[in-house]
């Protein structure tokens, strides 16, 4: 269903219910002006196993549901949408390599044009009766790498890479990436950028592996290469049972009810409140959240924005997903801040210093002594395992020294005894 301008005006939202291997239609999304209005189907609401796509945003009720105030689209639907990179791929495919303005297509068109193997357990289709997956054709890592290089260079992608184009439009983020299937396993393949000034992909492998060793529940990663360039393979945690079952996910931005333009207002402290109210095992989850905050600081990851945190949704409760997108960013020394606020509303602390986190440990259900132990364990592990993980990351001596200056910075440890 498209408007006279060629952009989509309506779509049917399909969902994989918990434990299901096939999707069913949950409802319909209609573009009214700038807003995407959603309504559940009567047949879906009458199912005994029906769940809301996410509450309180889209409660399982009759009638049209407008997005929350300040949003044009419900956050739980936007979480299934391609972000900057995926939109760039779709523009190349639909409008040609010269198209670079993301506003040329509306949000619903991006949702309908992206590959069906997207993050979470939703898909968007033109039909309410027949499910036709997009991007099921097999493709290789080399083909995906070639596709990303052509997109970055602003060149046309040949027909033989059509499947790679679809695979590259399924996931969010700004850097080149694509979905990769390897038998029953699935990965997000993250590629080097043509503009990288240092080995960012190897730096992300370093940070993700070190996070696991420090006790952070992080996604499994592998470092490989394609067409002579580094590639990071991130094992998907939103797929189970040989990738046939899918798990609903919502970002922290959605949980906090914030639009993209207000992402700077996102707060770990507010997320901690939600964990107490709505998460499975809140005490352990709060400890995990605090450990992720301090590890981000120690690893030089200041890009810990609210889309880089997420939770599984089962229709009743939330569960923190494994950590992802932890990357060491090389920068000059001196003061730094995290993307999300660490302190409570009356104390909007966000500086990249572990001592400040420890002072605010009670916000996360921890004593200062417990918080200090978490940081000390992370520092001890980083020192003890540094050479081993750098070897795994295949880092040259100059790159090891560069990352070591950021992992952690002098500023991050100021005031920490």
Q: Put residue 386 in one of left, alpha, beta given phi > 0 → left and psi -120 to 50 → alpha.
A: alpha
HSE-CB at 148 with a 13 A cutoff on CA atoms is 28
Residue 232, helix vs strand vs coil: strand
In the chain, where the domains are located: 1-125+135-176, 240-413
Task: State phi, psi for 204 to the nearest 5 degrees.
Answer: -70, -40
Residue 392, helix vs strand vs coil: helix
Q: Name every residue whose Cβ is closer than 8 Å to that of residue 405 and which is 6 or more positions away in sequence.
A: 333
> How far, in Å, are 247, 274, 295, 372 from residue 311 at the CA level?
10, 11, 19, 26
Q: Which H/E stretch holds residue 188?
A: strand 185-191
Distance CA 86, CA 393 (A): 27
Q: What is the pLDDT of residue 183?
A: 80
Residue 210: cis peptide before it, omega within 30 degrees of 0: no
Q: What is the pLDDT of residue 40?
A: 98
Residue 349: cis peptide before it, omega within 30 degrees of 0: no
Q: What is the pLDDT of residue 52?
A: 98
Q: What is the pLDDT of residue 6?
A: 44
pLDDT tens track, the chain, 417 positions: 443 334 678 999 999 999 999 999 999 999 998 899 999 999 999 999 999 999 999 999 999 999 998 899 999 999 999 989 999 999 999 999 878 788 889 999 999 999 999 999 999 999 999 999 998 888 999 999 999 999 999 999 999 999 999 999 988 888 999 999 888 889 999 999 999 999 999 999 999 999 999 999 999 999 999 999 999 999 999 999 777 899 999 999 999 999 988 889 999 999 999 999 999 999 999 999 999 999 999 999 999 999 999 999 999 999 999 999 999 999 887 899 999 999 999 999 999 999 999 999 999 999 999 999 999 999 999 999 999 999 999 999 999 999 999 999 999 999 998
CA angle 48/54/55 to nearest 5° reads 95
Q: What is the pLDDT of residue 322?
A: 98
Burial degree of 26 (CB within 10 A; 0-12, 13-18, 19+): buried
Check residue 158 and report its DSSP letter.
Answer: P
**Beta strand 249-251 with 35-40: parallel, antiparallel or unpaired?**
unpaired
Q: What is the pLDDT of residue 2?
A: 42
Burial degree of 335 (CB within 10 A; 0-12, 13-18, 19+): exposed
Distance CA 76, CA 56 (A): 10
Q: What is the pLDDT of residue 3?
A: 37
Reading the block at residue 207, the tokens are 């940070």
Residue 124 contacts residue 11 (beta carbons within 8 Å): yes
Reading the block at residue 291, the tokens are 């450990």
C-alpha torsion sign, points 329, 330, 331, 332: positive
- Give the CA radius of gyration of the chain: 21
Return the closest-CA partner of residue 217 out of 283, 278, 295.
295
Return the closest-CA partner of residue 207 out of 330, 320, 306, 312.
330
Q: What is the pLDDT of residue 266?
A: 97
Q: What is the pLDDT of residue 171?
A: 86
Q: Which residues of 251-280 are buried (b: 16+ CB within 10 A; e: fewer)?
A: bbbbbbbbbeeebeebbbbbbbebbeeebe
Reading the block at residue 407, the tokens are 């992992």
Residue 229, helix vs strand vs coil: strand
Q: What is the pLDDT of residue 4?
A: 32
Instruction: Tell the residue number behind the tokens 């879906």, with chain if given.
Output: 44
Distance CA 105, CA 383 (A): 49
Residue 28 contacts residue 22 (beta carbons within 8 Å): no
Domain 240-413 has CATH 1.10.300.10: no
Q: What is the pLDDT of residue 185?
A: 87
């Amino acid at each position: 269903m498209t408007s006279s301008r060629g952009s989509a005006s309506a779509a049917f939202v399909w969902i994989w219910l918990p434990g299901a291997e096939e999707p069913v239609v949950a409802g319909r999304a209609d573009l009214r002006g700038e807003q995407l209005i959603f309504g559940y189907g009567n047949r879906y609401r009458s199912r005994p196993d029906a769940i809301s796509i996410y509450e309180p945003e889209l409660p399982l009720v009759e009638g049209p549901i407008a997005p929350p105030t300040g949003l044009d689209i419900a956050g739980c639907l936007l979480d299934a949408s391609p972000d900057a990179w995926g939109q760039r791929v779709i523009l190349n495919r639909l409008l040609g390599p010269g198209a670079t303005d993301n506003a040329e297509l509306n949000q619903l068109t991006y949702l309908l044009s992206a590959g069906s193997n997207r993050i979470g357990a939703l898909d968007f289709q033109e039909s309410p009766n027949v499910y036709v997956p997009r991007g099921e054709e097999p493709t290789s890592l080399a083909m995906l790498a070639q596709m990303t290089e052509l997109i970055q260079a602003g060149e046309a992608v040949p027909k033989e890479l059509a499947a790679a184009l679809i695979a590259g439009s399924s996931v969010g983020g700004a850097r080149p990436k694509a979905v990769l299937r390897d038998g029953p396993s699935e990965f997000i393949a993250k590629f080097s950028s043509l503009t990288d000034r240092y080995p960012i992909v190897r730096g992300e492998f370093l940070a993700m592996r070190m996070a696991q060793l420090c006790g952070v529940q992080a996604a499994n990663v592998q470092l490989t290469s394609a067409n002579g360039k580094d590639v990071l393979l991130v094992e998907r945690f939103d797929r189970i049972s040989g990738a046939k079952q899918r798990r609903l996910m919502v970002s922290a931005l959605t949980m906090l009810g914030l639009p993209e333009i207000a992402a700077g207002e996102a707060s770990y402290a507010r997320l901690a409140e939600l964990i107490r109210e709505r998460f499975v095992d809140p005490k352990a989850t709060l400890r995990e959240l605090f450990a992720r905050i301090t590890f981000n600081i120690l690893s030089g990851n200041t890009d810990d924005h609210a889309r880089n945190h997420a939770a599984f949704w089962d229709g009743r409760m939330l569960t923190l997903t494994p950590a992802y997108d932890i990357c060491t960013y090389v920068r000059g020394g001196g003061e730094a801040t995290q993307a999300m606020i660490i302190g409570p509303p009356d104390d909007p602390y966000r500086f990249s210093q572990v001592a400040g986190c420890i002072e605010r440990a009670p916000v996360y259900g921890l004593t200062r002594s417990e918080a200090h132990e978490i940081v000390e364990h992370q520092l001890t592990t980083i020192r003890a395992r540094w050479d081993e993980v750098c070897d795994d990351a295949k880092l040259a001596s100059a790159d090891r020294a560069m990352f070591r200056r950021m992992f952690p910075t002098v500023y991050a440890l100021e005031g920490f005894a």
